[in-house]
Amino acid sequence: MRKIIFLLIALNCFAISLADINKAIENQEYSKVCNNLVYDLAVKNQDDGLMNLYGIACLRTDYINKLSAVIIALRNSKEARANAVYYSTILYKKKLLHSALVDNLDISSIKLPKCDYILSDIYDDYILGNYIKENDKYIFRYNDKIYEMSLRFDKPFTKMVLTILNSNNQILEVKEYW
């Protein structure tokens, strides 16, 4: 009996409510929303709106590989399917860019819709040749920022590393994709 009570208390400690999710979104605490508890809640309730919030949070925290589950789940309405296409485009651009850099795949003829995500801009400029290549780095410039894309060979994955610098070459952020 004690084990059952302990299990119920433990499960309640890890539960998340819609109010918690809305508060996290309002406070731009996206990592709290891009987690399995939120995903499971959205699937359980078949809630496309919650699933979309989960997808947006995963984009904002650069966990874009988690979008594959969102793409499959968003299918119940016209708006949900449109959001799934948006997430698919971002994920596809990432995969194509990775294959181009790692495997020398020619992606120059693959035109895809523009999205408001940095890898989308980099993909578009990569296929147009709008970058500078210095040694093993691909350098892109947007506004007052410099984006350096390089590869890091970590077994078992080769990762794309995006280093974001200001105009004084100070590192602002580093993002990794595989």
pLDDT at position 14 is 44
Domain borders along the chain are 2-130, 131-178
pTM of the full predicted structure?
0.84
Q: Per-residue pLDDT for 2 more than 60?
A: no
Question: Which residue from 143, 61, 135, 64 is spatially nearest to 98, judged by alpha carbons?
Answer: 64
pLDDT at position 22 is 86
**In this predicted model, what pLDDT tens digit does every residue of 118-131 receive, in sequence order?**
999 999 999 999 99
User: Where do the H-state alpha helices sit in 66-175?
Assistant: 67-73, 78-103, 118-128
Residue 21: how many CA atoms within 13 Å on its side-chain side?
Answer: 23
The encoded tokens of residue 64 equal: 């874009």
Q: Which of 20-24, 75-79, 82-86, 129-133 has the lowest mean pLDDT?
A: 20-24
- Is the distance from CB of 32 to CB of 18 less than 8 angstroms? no
Mean pLDDT calculated for residue range 9-24: 66
pLDDT at position 99 is 96
**In this predicted model, what pLDDT tens digit does every residue of 37-77 receive, in sequence order?**
999 999 999 999 999 999 999 999 999 999 999 999 999 99
